[in-house]
Amino acid sequence: MPNLVNELMVKELSSALRESSSMVFVSLSGLSMEENEGLRNGLAEGGVSLRVVRNSLAKLALKECGVEIPDGVFEGSVAIAMGDPEHAIHAAKVFWTSDARKDGKVGFRAGLLEGELLDAGSARDLADLPDRETLRAQLLGVLSGPARSLVAITAAPGSSLARVVNARVEAGGEDAA
């Protein structure tokens, strides 16, 4: 009976992992109920799925998906935050800014971003990436900057002439017009 349950759990986890193109692996130890709920709520706001399963089952499920995780990642209590690349970035931000991480209860182990295996440091660096909306705003600023400068340069001679004429009218009176 336990083997059947394990097989079903591995199949279900493999299915969830196949649907996810990116993941963040973190160690969780000694979390209080409030810290656990805070992490899960923060992840849920970004649509991130968090799974805590037995390490042996997670290894089997990842192997079925064709992902080889190095030794040492699955030691202790490990959780997998999964989804698309934006979900992985959101998860890294939530884990990095959590009070539990500052207390040493959450630690980055590894990551997977669109099939690329990341070490613990690179997975942590995902927290520094801007989200999609910020990236779009930055790109829009870069694209619109030259056009804005061109408009200002072409408008400058006409506006300078208008200011000179206006100043002359205000200063000189009748003979200026």
Place of tokens 């009070």: 99
Place of tokens 């591995």: 10
Please count the structural domains in the chain: 2
pTM: 0.71
DSSP string, 89-138: HHHHHHHHH-HHHHTTSEEEEEEEETTEEE-HHHHHHGGGS--HHHHHHH
123 and 136 belong to one structural domain: no
pLDDT 10s per residue in the chain (177 long)? 468 888 888 888 888 888 888 889 998 888 888 888 888 899 998 888 888 888 888 888 888 888 888 888 888 888 999 888 888 888 898 888 887 777 888 889 999 888 888 888 888 888 888 878 888 898 888 888 888 887 778 777 877 778 888 888 888 765 544
Q: At what angle do helices 85-97 and 33-45 cross, to 10 degrees?
A: 150
Residue numbers of the domain that contains 142: 130-177
| Residue-wise pLDDT tens digits, 31-69 | 888 888 888 899 998 888 888 888 888 888 888 888 888
25 and 98 belong to one structural domain: yes
* CA-CA-CA-CA torsion sign (8, 14, 15, 20): positive
Residue 80, C-beta contacts closer than 8 angstroms, at least 6 positions apart: 17, 23, 24, 25, 50, 51, 52, 53, 58
Whole-angstrom Cα distance, residue 164 to residue 174? 15
Q: Strand order in 106-113's β-sheet?
A: 49-52, 78-83, 22-28, 106-113, 116-118
| Structure-block tokens of residue 106 | 């959450």
125 and 166 belong to one structural domain: no
What is the domain-level CATH number for residue 82? 3.30.70.1730
- Residue 25 is predicted with a pLDDT of 92
134 and 118 belong to one structural domain: no
| Structure-block tokens of residue 71 | 């030794």
